[in-house]
Amino acid sequence: MDFDDQLRRYFGTADLAAIHPEAHAAGTERMRVDFGLETNPGRRFALWALMYMLGVAPDLDVAFEDEGGRSTARDFMDMVGRAEENQTG
């Protein structure tokens, strides 16, 4: 899944700054529905990661049934945190 493609799919633009509040709310709702319906673990994780980057991801215990999925998500969260620290530091 390409990040820009996913932004276009859910928000109609790849420019985060151009997303209007109404489009953000509608896109977020579509992501939540797609996440709930997705059965492919890789696509499900990719969608959760996009939601995480946008600050709308469900909690890990809700998003992932097994500890392996939660562990992978925690690793992703740590990686994003380190990248943010490197950008600001």
| pLDDT tens, N- to C-terminus, the chain (89 residues) | 688 999 999 999 999 899 999 999 999 999 999 999 999 999 999 999 999 999 999 999 999 999 999 999 999 999 999 998 898 76
Closest CA to 46 of 9, 85, 76: 76
- pLDDT at res. 2: 84
- pLDDT at res. 26: 96
Phi, psi of 19, rounded to the nearest 5 degrees = -75, 120
Measured between alpha carbons, how far is 65 from 51 in angstroms, rounded to an integer?
Answer: 17
Range of the domain at 63: 3-88
- pLDDT at res. 1: 64
Q: What pTM value is reported for the model? A: 0.88
Measured between alpha carbons, how far is 78 from 74 in angstroms, rounded to an integer?
Answer: 6
What spatial distance separates the first Cα and last Cα of the chain, rounded to whole Å? 29
How many domains, the chain?
1
Type of residue numbered 66 = D
C-alpha of 56 from chain center: 7
- pLDDT at res. 3: 86
